[in-house]
Amino acid sequence: MFPKIYVSRPISAPAEMASFRKNLIFIGAGSGIAPFLAFLDDQQILVRGGCKSSGKTESEFIPDFSRYEKAHLIFISRDADQLSWLSPYLDQIMDNEEISMKFELHVFLT
């Protein structure tokens, strides 16, 4: 009745492998969106020539968003009030033209 799902390796943090992919699809609901926002924030810092919070300099990372073809952030919420805390954070990330050209936000109210 239900499809079989096989897991071939341990499951890791939600955005851990994102930097190795060309296309990104992040799906989060409520506070579950936080790891994806943190990843996008790191990318924004790198694009602006900064360094990661780990203290590693930009030369140790690819300092642009060009390797990504498309990034989708799908946010699912029960009410529109949850969007109020998300909006200023996304505005800061989307200020960078290189990221905003390849990034799409999808919001679903359930």
Residue found by looking up tokens 């690819």 in the block:
62
Whether residue 59 is predicted with pLDDT greater than 70 in this model: the reply is no
| Averaged confidence pLDDT in the chain | 77
- Domain 22-51+63-109 classification at class level: alpha beta
pTM over 0.75: no
Name the pLDDT band for 60 (thresholds 50, 70, 90).
low
pLDDT-derived band at 82 (thresholds 50, 70, 90) equals confident
CA 27 to centroid of chain Cα atoms:
9
- What does the DSSP 8-state code read for residue 75? E
Closest CA to 94 of 83, 84, 104: 104
Q: Which residue has tokens 């990843």?
A: 39
CA distances in angstroms from 106 to 43, 63, 74, 76, listed in the order given: 19, 26, 5, 8
Domain assignments of the chain as residue spans, ordered by start: 22-51+63-109
SS3 44: helix
Residue-wise pLDDT tens digits, 11-20: 667 777 777 7
Instruction: Identify the residue with better confidence: 72 or 62.
Output: 72
DSSP 3: P
